[in-house]
Amino acid sequence: MASEITVAGAGVFGLACAWELVRRGARVRIFEAVRIGAGASGGHVGALAPHAPENWNAKKQVQLEALVAAAGWWAEVAAAGGVDPGYARTGRIQPVAEGAEARMAERIEAASAHWPAWAGMELTDAPQGVLVPASPSGRWLVDRLTARISPRRAGAALAAAIRARGGEIVEGEAAPDAPAIWATGVAGLTPFGGSGVKGQSALLAFSAPDQPQVFADGLHIVPHADGTVAIGSTSERDAMDTGTDAQLEALIDKARALCPALGDAPVVDRWAGIRPRAKSRAPLVGPWPGRPGHYVANGGFKIGLAMAPACAVLLADLILDGRDRIPEGFRVLEPKAGD
């Protein structure tokens, strides 16, 4: 084991890697050029939602394992540092389009084949909750696997746990160009042909802490434990600024129309940031080709909070124990000419 492992970046990927290392006894120092959660990890939504269970593959299997293990993993983080990350497995409601019942039945069958029995999907005509959107078919798809976490509180909880176990976090200073785990978000994807996608989200003051989250018309509506509901997010491929604009206001209006209970809920915060999207759409995890001692943990586009713990375990297994369990689709490859 190295005398000290350096991690570059204190977003959820970097912090998760650092925590997994320190909980196994490694000494870790994190360098963060700005502040904890300054990039894509500083948003609001925190939907730990599974991929659709059809067309099962290695990425979906890793995400499933992460979602199943999340309750215990985040509970250990909270116990170590004394900060609650806002995790809860509250489930999800999705309205079903007219004529889509047969497709949903296939989805339910796929879930029963791959998910634990307790987590399965089902169709209902009487969903529970105060944030139930209208359904064109009069049916809703519900599942018990989906969970939520507060992104900013998750970062604070990980930082507290790392420090409590003796790890060091240096904010306002970029990592030296030396062997490290590089978890630097969109800037760190450039060598591998990745890109940034702007996202905008909002936080509304509405207390529904134990209610299921909603996914409807491409929009996540996620109740959090602190008396807020997160709304998000946009996906803007051609914008790289971090300012909120009319697209977010349209998103808020859509959320109020979908869930009328939110109609008078005031907006307490707005956010915009650039999320790292790997070319493969899967996270990038593992050795940096051609740079001995350098590793990459990046590219958790839309699924970073769900996948970070799993990716951290894969990387810690490799670095500390020499066990390489990284799926082929996650491996870091040098981009080809023209990428």
Q: Is the pLDDT of residue 311 over 80?
A: yes
Nearest partner of 220 among 206, 208, 202, 236, judged by Cα: 202
Interval 252-282: pLDDT, tens: 999 999 999 999 999 999 999 999 999 888 9
pLDDT of residue 334: 75
Residue 212 pLDDT level (bands cut at 50, 70, 90): very high
pLDDT of residue 314: 97
The mean pLDDT value for 141-167 works out to: 98
Sheet architecture: strand order including 92-95: 121-124, 140-143, 92-95, 213-216, 219-223, 228-232, 195-205, 267-277
Residue 333 pLDDT level (bands cut at 50, 70, 90): confident
Q: What is the pTM of this model?
A: 0.95
Q: Is the pLDDT of residue 36 over 70?
A: yes
Q: What token pair was written down for 266?
A: 């005031």
Q: ∠109-330-90 over CA atoms, to 5°?
A: 45
Q: Is the pLDDT of residue 2 over 60?
A: no
Query: What is the DSSP secondary structure assignment for residue 81, as one 8-state letter?
Result: H
Specify whether the CB–CB gap between 156 and 113 falls below 8 A: no
pLDDT of residue 209: 96
Q: Is the pLDDT of residue 317 over 50?
A: yes
Q: How far apart are CA 166 and CA 242, in angstroms?
A: 34
Q: How far apart are CA 293 and CA 300, in angstroms?
A: 22
CA distances from 30 to 5, 61, 100 (A): 9, 29, 48
Interval 91-120: pLDDT, tens: 999 999 999 999 999 999 999 999 999 998
Specify whether the CB–CB gap between 28 and 7 falls below 8 A: yes
The full set of domains in the chain, from first to last, is 5-330 (3.50.50.60)
- Residue whose entry in the numeric block shows the structure tokens 């796929």: 110
pLDDT of residue 192: 92
pLDDT of residue 1: 47
